[in-house]
């Protein structure tokens, strides 16, 4: 009955979640085509995605605070307006750098959607149904990822890559109509908190320092990391003294289950998001496939994610979600390592598809239970904060993933390094997957720690 009562809310959240994932993944499949059009290198083309992720990460915690204090439905609605209509503007832009700027603005709209959606679910649905509903949301997120390589490949190949933005605009408009006319309730905190602008500013400086360090990958990176470290230390000291901090440091320290769940999500996305970007380059440049055929291979991963996410979300309502999520992350780590070891110029494509399917299954086992673990570890007044913090960990992890992958590709291909007869582009692909596997293994350790503490 509760699902029926809030069906229009769930439908609008499903559409918003679908197109957030669809746009990111479909643009990754279009990267080689965009590079051909502008001729600036695959590492720079990646900024179409990275600018979006950076803006989303910066805006998420602010959006979560706005959702808690001014209304979760209102923030979700405004985010969809920005996300949809900026897609329409991008269609008419010709300058690459203007497109990057507007993708940054679109990322701010995306942050409002991502920060408010899980908070709306946690507010509108009973706790014994929450994992199931989060599983539904996650399923449609992965359906977006599933259709992105296939539909994105078709649209890119036959109508050009900008048709992706037109497709996004049309359906985001439908979501706006659904939530505006179909959802009458609003959810927010009874008392408004004061926004910690100074703390937020320090937080943004820390993030930008890390971003620059990942982007440069040279001696200047040490300088950027040093700034992030000292500003981060100042941020912690300031937040400990602030009566209404931007991020509650005592809460982060005391609630280890929440903290380890967030860190597990960060590492998980840092080691998986760039897979479609890296393999799109591998399949189209090294193996000579067109965007549609490359998309078919890449779709095996999100197919498994879409098939199993709701089930494991439902399972996490009955069993320890942290334990289930830890098992999923172990599968992810093993899959990444196998791809890194086996990938070469002649690897049978069906083997790669099978490995991506196993990876997608591990992702399904991890994501919904981990989200349920986060949202179940806090009280209802902090749903917006927890939702935004989780989304921040996801998006900043995705940015780290893209930054690491593009930097490794740039570094190895610029030097034209050849090791064991693996030429630079193929070598960079192998190295990326092996590094991702090792990072993911550390994520398994962090994820398992929270299980021991329960």
Write out the residue range of the structural domain in which residue 76 sits: 2-195+246-452
Model pTM score: 0.77
Q: What is the pLDDT of residue 1?
A: 47
For the chain, what percent of residues have pLDDT higher than 90? Answer: 27
Count of domains observed in the chain: 2
Q: Are residues 224 and 170 in the same domain?
A: no
Q: Are residues 221 and 321 in the same domain?
A: no
Q: Are residues 431 and 421 in the same domain?
A: yes
Q: What is the pLDDT of residue 100?
A: 94
Q: Is the pLDDT of residue 152 over 70?
A: yes
Q: Rounded to whole angstroms, how far apart are CA atoms 116 and 112?
A: 6
- At residue 439 the predicted structure's pLDDT band, cuts being 50, 70 and 90, is very high
Burial of residue 184 (number of CB atoms within 10 Å: 0-12, 13-18, 19+): exposed
First to last CA, the chain: 32
Q: Are residues 205 and 260 in the same domain?
A: no
pLDDT average, residue stretch 371-394: 74
Q: Are residues 176 and 200 in the same domain?
A: no
Q: Are residues 228 and 302 in the same domain?
A: no
Q: Are residues 236 and 266 in the same domain?
A: no
Q: Are residues 407 and 271 in the same domain?
A: yes
- At residue 415 the predicted structure's pLDDT band, cuts being 50, 70 and 90, is low
Mean pLDDT estimate for the chain: 84
Q: What is the pLDDT of residue 416?
A: 61
Write down which residue in 227, 245, 263 finishes a domain. 245
- At residue 60 the predicted structure's pLDDT band, cuts being 50, 70 and 90, is confident
pLDDT average, residue stretch 359-366: 92
Q: Model confidence over 203-258: pLDDT tens digits? A: 899 988 888 888 777 778 889 999 999 999 999 999 888 887 877 788 788 888 88
Q: Are residues 148 and 240 in the same domain?
A: no
- Contact between 293 and 29 (Cβ < 8 Å): no
CATH of the domain at 133: 1.20.1250.20
pLDDT average, residue stretch 305-312: 82
Q: Are residues 217 and 312 in the same domain?
A: no
Q: Are residues 142 and 121 in the same domain?
A: yes
Q: Are residues 265 and 278 in the same domain?
A: yes
Coil, strand or helix at 421: coil
């Amino acid at each position: 009955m509760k699902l029926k009562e809030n069906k229009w809310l769930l439908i609008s959240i499903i559409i918003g979640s679908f197109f957030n994932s669809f746009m990111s993944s479909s643009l990754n499949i279009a990267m080689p085509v965009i590079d051909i059009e502008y001729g600036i290198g695959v590492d720079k083309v990646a900024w179409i995605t990275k600018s979006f992720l950076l803006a989303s990460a910066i805006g998420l915690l602010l959006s979560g605070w706005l959702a808690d204090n001014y209304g979760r439905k209102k923030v979700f609605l405004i985010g969809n307006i920005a996300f949809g209509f900026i897609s329409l503007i991008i269609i008419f832009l010709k300058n690459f750098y203007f497109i990057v700027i507007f993708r940054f603005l679109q990322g701010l709209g995306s942050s409002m959607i991502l920060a408010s959606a899980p908070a709306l679910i946690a507010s509108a649905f009973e706790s014994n149904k929450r994992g199931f509903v989060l599983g539904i949301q996650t399923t449609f997120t992965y359906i977006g990822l599933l259709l992105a390589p296939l539909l994105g490949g078709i649209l890119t190949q036959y109508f050009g890559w900008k048709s992706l933005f037109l497709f996004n605009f049309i359906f985001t408009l439908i979501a706006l109509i659904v939530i505006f006319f179909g959802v009458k309730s609003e959810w927010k905190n009874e008392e408004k908190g004061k926004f910690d602008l100074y703390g937020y500013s320090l937080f943004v400086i820390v993030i930008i320092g890390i971003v620059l360090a990942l982007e440069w990958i040279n001696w200047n990176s040490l300088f950027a990391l040093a700034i992030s470290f000292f500003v981060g230390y100042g941020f912690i000291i300031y937040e400990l003294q602030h009566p209404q901090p931007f991020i509650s440091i005592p809460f982060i320290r005391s609630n280890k289950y929440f903290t380890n769940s967030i860190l597990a999500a960060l590492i998980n996305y840092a080691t998986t998001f760039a897979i479609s970007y890296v393999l799109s380059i591998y399949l189209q440049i090294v193996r000579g496939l067109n965007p549609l055929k490359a998309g078919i291979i890449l779709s095996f991963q999100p197919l498994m994610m879409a098939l199993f996410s709701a089930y494991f979300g439902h399972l996490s309502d009955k069993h320890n979600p942290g334990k289930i999520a830890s098992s999923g992350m172990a599968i992810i780590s093993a899959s990444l390592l196998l791809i890194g070891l086996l990938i070469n110029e002649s690897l049978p494509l069906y083997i790669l598809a099978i490995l991506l399917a196993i990876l997608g299954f591990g992702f399904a086992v991890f994501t919904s239970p981990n989200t349920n673990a986060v949202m179940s570890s806090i009280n209802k007044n902090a749903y917006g904060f927890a939702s935004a913090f989780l989304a921040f960990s996801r998006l900043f992890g995705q940015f780290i993933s893209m930054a690491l992958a593009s930097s490794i590709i740039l570094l190895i291909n610029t030097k034209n390094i050849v090791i064991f007869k693996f030429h630079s582009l193929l070598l960079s692909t192998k190295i990326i997957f092996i590094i991702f596997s090792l990072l993911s293994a550390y994520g398994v350790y962090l994820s398992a720690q929270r299980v021991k503490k329960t």
